[in-house]
Amino acid sequence: MPAPTPHLDLASIDLTRVVADLDAIKQVIPQRHEMLQLSAIVHVDTAHHLIVGYKDVTADEFWVRGHFPGHPFLPGVLMCESAAQLTCFYNLSNKVTKGALIGLGGIENGRFRRAVVPGDRLVLVGKGLKVRSRLTHFDVQGFVNGDLAFSVEIIGVVLVKGFEG
């Protein structure tokens, strides 16, 4: 299967211009400790429903010891979780869901194209396909050093109404 067309030119994004650091991300999304899978948000374009963030993959993460011993690879399920958290940040910070927490309702068309290992920066680019108050559908692409590592469609559904991030 051929690689999808990138949602934007990554060279046009300044990864050092952080829009939301780890503390700001924690103010918006509820994940904590081992389950927080974002390091920073670097670009948000609400007119085109685009968001760019990254996860710095480190050697001290909980999965490194066992996935796989001596050759650690970031599990695909955690790449998908990073993508879901990126879209959650977009939804909550832009009040798309109007006070409701959107959770992972589905994953479609997931493809993994290269290993992501400790020391890598996984740059995530999300593009909203459907962005509505009760359901969102984002296409997320993950890159390492400009190479496509994975792509997945994330469907978000309302989990909790009256959510205060």
Residue positions annotated with a catalytic role = 67
In 18-59, which ranges are continuous DSSP H helix?
Answer: 22-28
Q: Is 33 left (phi over 0), alpha (psi -120 to 50) or beta?
A: left
Return phi, psi of residue 25, to 5°. -60, -45
Q: Is the peptide bond before 68 cis (omega within 30 degrees of 0)?
A: yes
Distance CA 155, CA 141 (A): 14
**Cα 86 to the chain's mean position, in Å?**
3
Q: Which helix (H) or strand (E) holds 93?
A: helix 76-93
